[in-house]
């Protein structure tokens, strides 16, 4: 059987490529929507030595598109189960699964160097940045990919040959895995999306993909949430699906009692999540709250002392509980009066109060920063569902890119975009030549440097570490010293060594205008020089700005109309958007935001025209410019 299979591979791929595929060692990072399709494709193409790593466990919401998983796998490791399922396609394959975080120190430079190709099927920017840097340091080719709804793309990253993942600035990530929303939120936007789903479950048109409970049991089982395993709570239907009782029905039966709703959502459901102990081995566990105790914590003196605008002030947890109760009563009356489902509207006070209070209570439970009503209104938006066929197409493209790499034909690799609809030449898949590295990239340049504008008298060492180095520049465990000839250390990656520095400002360490800081991440084998420019005129709430991120002056006169090509380009996903994702389109909260978008549109048009002119000589004669879409 094995001999016959090898003969098929030789006939399809050719003797030389078939042998290279069989002898290669590849790493697949992520075992979700794209990952499931990709692992299946790899074993069916003849890859035999594969390692797959994923930190997540299987959620029931994954089953509609991650076809290596079944109901009996809910709660188990994605990496382990995908391995077991893929081996059924090719039992001769050697697949090693890791239920772990790729950013762990266990997966350092030596680990990455053992692979011939690395393939990303990730769902977050931080992990993508990390893998990008590790592949650059190890000089291993990386196939990057992503999907968002019907859109997708796959590209190749090779040190010194192509742009790296961070050569061009990425927009703020707006995509999130469904299981993150329901089980393991880590950002305010995760809680806001969850609260909008809750609104629809209780008052609007319910969608099965917008389930807010962490389990599959009936909402009526309020007192038993978390006491039984998921598989024991499933009810089999004749079709083999999973039956859930309606959250709306249960809410109607209890008369939309705010206290019962509160305790179900923020106490019993959280206790259930805590029973899923695998989720909290490497995460901070949530802390359940109940209606009575949180309202007892009300500090009226503190509230009276805050004279800020109500919309721009972050409510305390007990205030959120009070607003939650009032908004539920108001929305219940609206529902009864109208006699039809409500539609969430950011301009409706009760709708906004409900989402703001519910999101902030959930954020409080998961130790996530809470947001003002003003901020929540700006962040809430529309959701785009994941599409299984998009994942299948992109995973096929990833394997084709890998085959070109193993064949030594890097020049044949392209950045390939999957469009929502055919372009003027009736093509859904649009190839684009790989772009050379950006010489000013702060990651893959020979000597990475970046200029940062900040107020040295107010920026603390903690903000430097957490918000700038880790959040903005994607470092994992940075060490920072002042280039002053003395090697003064500001931040050490060794635990506890420089904790006393964290609350101090840069000025206290004599860091002023034109100072140079050297940030070094040993795990990523990455070093970055920060050129400090002191500014005391930063906008309120802005702690620092990075050169290149600053908006250009707005040109005089009206903005030109966007071209068809530009519209296509704007609709493309970035590689940071992936498979099982929900995309939140954030509306512009102010006139300034809209002005910035207009400026970006103008610059994008100019860049697109310039890019087309520069690429004319590289496009084959049988291709027109309208085939090329540049992100």
Q: Which domains does the chain have, with CATH numbers?
A: 1-171+385-433 (3.40.50.720), 178-225+244-381 (1.10.10.520), 449-546 (3.10.290.20)
Cα dihedral: 536, 540, 545, 549 (round 10): -130
pLDDT at 507: 93
User: CA 433 to CA 79: how far, in whole Å?
Assistant: 33
On average, the pLDDT of the chain sits at: 79
234 with 192: CB under 8 angstroms?
A: no
pLDDT along the chain (631 residues), means of 10: 65 85 95 95 94 91 89 93 95 95 93 97 89 96 92 95 89 62 89 92 79 51 39 40 62 92 92 86 90 69 48 89 94 90 85 94 94 85 72 96 94 93 90 93 92 93 93 92 89 91 93 93 92 88 77 37 35 44 38 38 43 37 36 31
pLDDT digits (tens, 9 = 90+) for 246-257: 778 888 899 999
pTM over cut 0.75:
no
pLDDT for position 275: 87
> Any long-range contacts for 499-506 (C-beta under 8 Å, 24+ apart)?
501/461, 502/460, 502/461, 502/462, 502/465, 503/460, 503/461, 503/462, 504/460, 504/461, 505/456, 505/457, 505/458, 505/459, 505/460, 505/461, 506/454, 506/456, 506/457, 506/459, 506/460, 506/461, 506/464, 506/532
CA 187 to CA 178: how far, in whole Å?
Answer: 14
C-alpha 298/C-alpha 222 separation (Å) is: 26
Burial (CB count <10 Å: 0-12, 13-18, 19+), residue 613: exposed
Question: Which helix H or strand E contains 175, and what residues bound it?
Answer: strand 175-177
Two tokens, residue 587:
């509306």
Position 130 scores a pLDDT of 94
Strand partners, 52: 28, 97
Name the residues annotated as catalytic.
Answer: 179
Q: Compute the distance between CA of residue 559 and CA of residue 68 in angstroms, rounded to an integer.
A: 49
* Rounded CA separation 141/410 (Å): 10
Known binding-site residues for Zn(2+) equal 164, 167, 441, 444
| Feature table: binding site for ATP | 30-35, 54, 62-65, 78, 123-128
């Amino acid at each position: 059987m094995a001999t016959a299979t090898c003969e098929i591979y030789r006939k399809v791929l050719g003797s030389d490529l078939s042998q290279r595929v069989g002898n290669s060692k590849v790493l697949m990072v992520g075992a979700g929507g794209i990952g499931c399709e990709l692992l299946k494709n790899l074993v069916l193409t003849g890859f035999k030595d594969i390692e797959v790593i994923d930190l997540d466990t299987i959620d029931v919401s994954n089953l509609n598109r991650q076809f290596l998983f079944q109901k009996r796998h809910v709660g188990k490791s994605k990496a382990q189960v995908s391995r077991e399922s893929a081996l059924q396609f090719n039992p001769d394959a050697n697949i090693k699964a890791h239920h772990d975080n790729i950013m762990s120190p266990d997966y350092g430079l030596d680990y990455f160097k053992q692979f011939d190709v690395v393939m990303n099927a990730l769902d977050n920017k931080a992990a993508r940045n990390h893998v990008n840097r590790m592949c650059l340091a190890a000089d291993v080719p990386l196939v990057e990919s992503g999907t968002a709804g019907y859109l997708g793309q796959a590209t190749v990253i090779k040190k010194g040959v192509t742009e790296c993942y961070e050569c061009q600035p990425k927009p703020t990530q707006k995509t999130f895995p469904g299981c993150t929303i329901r089980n393991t939120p880590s950002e305010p936007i995760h809680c806001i999306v969850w609260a909008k789903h809750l609104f629809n479950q209780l008052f609007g048109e319910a969608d099965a993909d917008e389930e807010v409970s962490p389990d599959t049991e009936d909402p009526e089982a309020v007192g038993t949430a978390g006491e039984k395993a998921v598989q024991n709570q499933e009810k089999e239907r004749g079709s083999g699906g999973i039956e859930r009782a309606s959250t709306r029905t249960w809410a109607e039966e209890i008369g939309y009692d705010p206290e019962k709703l509160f305790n179900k959502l923020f106490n019993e459901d959280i206790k259930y999540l805590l029973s899923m102990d695998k989720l909290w081995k490497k995460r901070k566990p949530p802390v359940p709250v109940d209606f009575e105790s949180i309202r007892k914590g009300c500090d009226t003196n503190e509230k009276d002392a805050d004279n800020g605008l109500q919309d721009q002030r972050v409510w305390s947890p007990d205030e959120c509980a009070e607003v939650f109760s009032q908004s539920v009563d108001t929305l219940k009356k609206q529902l009864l009066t109208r006699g039809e489902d409500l539609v969430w509207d950011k301009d409706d006070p009760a709708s906004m109060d409900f989402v703001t209070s519910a999101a902030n209570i959930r954020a409080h439970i998961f130790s996530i920063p809470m947001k003002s009503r003003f901020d929540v209104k700006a962040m809430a938006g529309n959701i785009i569902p994941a599409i299984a066929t998009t994942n299948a197409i992109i995973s096929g493209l990833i394997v084709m890119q890998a085959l070109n790499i193993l064949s030594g034909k890097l020049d044949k690799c392209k950045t390939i975009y999957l469009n929502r609809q055919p372009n003027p030449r009736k093509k859904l898949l649009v190839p684009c030549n790989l772009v050379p590295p950006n010489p000013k990239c702060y990651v893959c340049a020979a000597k990475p440097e970046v200029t940062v504008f900040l107020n040295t008298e107010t920026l603390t060492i903690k903000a430097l570490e957490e918000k700038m180095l880790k959040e903005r520049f994607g470092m994992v465990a940075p060490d920072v010293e002042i280039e002053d000839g003395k090697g003064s250390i500001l931040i050490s990656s060794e635990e506890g060594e420089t904790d006393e520095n964290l609350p101090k400002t840069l000025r206290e360490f004599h860091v002023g205008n034109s100072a140079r800081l050297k940030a070094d991440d040993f795990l990523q084998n990455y070093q970055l020089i920060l050129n400090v420019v002191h500014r005391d005129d930063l906008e309120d709430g802005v702690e620092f700005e990075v050169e290149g991120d600053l908006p250009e002056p707005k040109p005089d006169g009206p903005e030109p109309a966007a071209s068809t090509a530009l519209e296509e380009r704007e609709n493309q996903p970035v590689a940071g958007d992936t498979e099982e994702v929900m995309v939140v389109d954030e509306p512009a909260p102010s006139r300034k935001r809209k002005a910035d978008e207009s400026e970006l549109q103008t610059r994008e048009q100019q860049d697109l025209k310039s890019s087309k002119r520069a690429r004319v000589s590289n496009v084959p004669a049988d291709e027109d410019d309208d085939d090329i879409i540049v992100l």
